[in-house]
Amino acid sequence: MRIAKLAAASLLSRKSNAVLTLMAIAISVMLLLGVERVSQETRSGFANTISGTDLIVGARSGSVNLLLYSVFHIGNPTNNITWNTYQHWANNSQVAWSVPIALGDSVRGFPVVATEPAFFEHFRYAQQQPLEFAEGQAFQRREAVIGAEVARQLSLQVGSNLIIAHGTGSISFHEHDDHPMQIAGVLERTGTPVDQAIYIGLRDLDMMHGGTDDHAHDEHEGHEHTGHEHNEDDHHEHEHQNHNTHQHHEHEGSSQVAEPPIPGISAFFVGLQSKPRAIFMQREINTYREEPLTAIMPGSTLHELWRTLSGFERALSVVSGFVLLAGLLGMLATILASLRERRREMAVLRSIGAGPGTIFTLLVSETMVLTLAGMAVGVGLLYGFIFALAPWIQSSFGIVVELSGISNAEWLRLAVVFVAGFLISLIPAWRAYRNSLSDGLSMRV
């Protein structure tokens, strides 16, 4: 113990060097753990975004792309699906429930998802958890439901008015201010992209984009099985001037008698009667002849997405490993340089009875004091950053980084730092050991 105290006192006497070395170690430890922490949280965040949905169907595109825009609201649908096609699959006997979504608009950067109130009933996240309302209830005509983050950041509550903007940028040049929406409900926080989204009815979205209001309502009853319930018809004629809008203006193949709430949708979520049938159903949808479609099973596509990202994660880990190595080499250089000016100190210690072994231990202790302090400061920095940046990470990426304890994987990385620090410490210790053997009591300076 007295050697550790001596080591600490000696380090303190070279404070500025010691602090710089310590910070280099601390920052590399923080990076090493931070990369692990963020990828861990991202992974569990991804896995938690959707559950209970057996298939997601969109226009023909890559499966990851479909997942990204339908669940994470990142990127854009390549094409729309006609309402007729949606109806065809919604009425399939294998399908227990289905919920359509249409994307493309936003409110100050937050994506607007046009759907049906049934969405709140069927959508599940994490371990089959349903969406809960913190306030209010599902939307009806000219109403919207907003996620917890939207409510917080835009300071909105039930009863507030909302102007939806055309397009997905955070600055929009075209607002649907002739069609204001009122907020009917605020969702509980989920830690998923749902928190960042605004939910409105399909019919409202269509009307914003110039769809007509007139004869729509009578037919709505025809879609009850989808949970659609826009029965109230207190709407006056609502004519948009001719904006250029999405292509769901074109009413292709309107052989169906019922007027759809919206001509085209971006994707739809499907729950099946029998989950094991999902793979057959997926193939069936993918080979549908009337319209090119892509169906994905969210779980497996999440895995695929994660595999894509894990290469990136590995690259980050490698980089932070090298940063650690640089930090340790910096420490080695500092301590080796200090040995030169400390030969007198070693001779003094030898004269009062310290053996070369004690000198060796002293040098190992010094390096380990630096390493351990660096690790402690690094962990402190990590938590400081998480505490400071978690809100920003959540609002920018929808990833909830929690202030949880140190995970096993993180302990493992700390252990690697510890062992690496120990191995590095042997080099100056060995050098000092050799010096003290040859120098003895002479003070070669």
Q: Which residues bind another protein (CB under 8 A)?
A: 2, 6, 9-10, 12-13, 344-345, 347-358, 440-443
Length of the chain in terms of residues written: 445
CB nearer to another protein: pick between 12 and 319: 12
| Least distance between another protein and beta carbon 74 (Å) | 57
Q: Check: CB of residue 187 under 8 Å from CB of residue 132.
A: yes
CA distance 296 to 279: 9
| Least distance between another protein and beta carbon 9 (Å) | 5
Pick the closest to residue 335 from 427, 258, 238, 223 (CA basis).
Answer: 427
| Least distance between another protein and beta carbon 437 (Å) | 8
Helix ranges, 126-259 (H):
148-154, 202-208, 216-220
Residue type, 365: S
| Least distance between another protein and beta carbon 10 (Å) | 6
Q: Check: CB of residue 67 under 8 Å from CB of residue 296.
A: yes
C-alpha 326 chain-centroid distance? 30
Q: Which pair of structure tokens corresponds to residue 386?
A: 């998480």
Cα end-to-end distance, the chain, whole Å: 29
CB nearer to another protein: pick between 325 and 443: 443
CB nearer to another protein: pick between 318 and 348: 348
| Least distance between another protein and beta carbon 336 (Å) | 19
| Least distance between another protein and beta carbon 440 (Å) | 4
| Least distance between another protein and beta carbon 364 (Å) | 17
CA distance 73 to 337: 55
| Least distance between another protein and beta carbon 355 (Å) | 4
Q: Which pair of structure tokens corresponds to residue 306?
A: 């994660």
CB nearer to another protein: pick between 20 and 443: 443
CB nearer to another protein: pick between 102 and 354: 354
CB nearer to another protein: pick between 2 and 236: 2
Q: Check: CB of residue 226 under 8 Å from CB of residue 99.
A: yes
Q: Which pair of structure tokens corresponds to residue 126?
A: 């994490």
C-alpha 49 chain-centroid distance? 9
What phi and psi values does residue 58 have, to the nearest 5 degrees?
-140, -175
DSSP 305: H
Beta strands in 77-123 (DSSP E): 81-82, 95-107, 110-115
CB nearer to another protein: pick between 247 and 442: 442
CB nearer to another protein: pick between 83 and 433: 433
42 vs 46, 150, 226, 420, CA distance in Å? 6, 21, 33, 28
| Least distance between another protein and beta carbon 330 (Å) | 22
| Residue for token pair 């709505």 | 220
CB nearer to another protein: pick between 348 and 419: 348
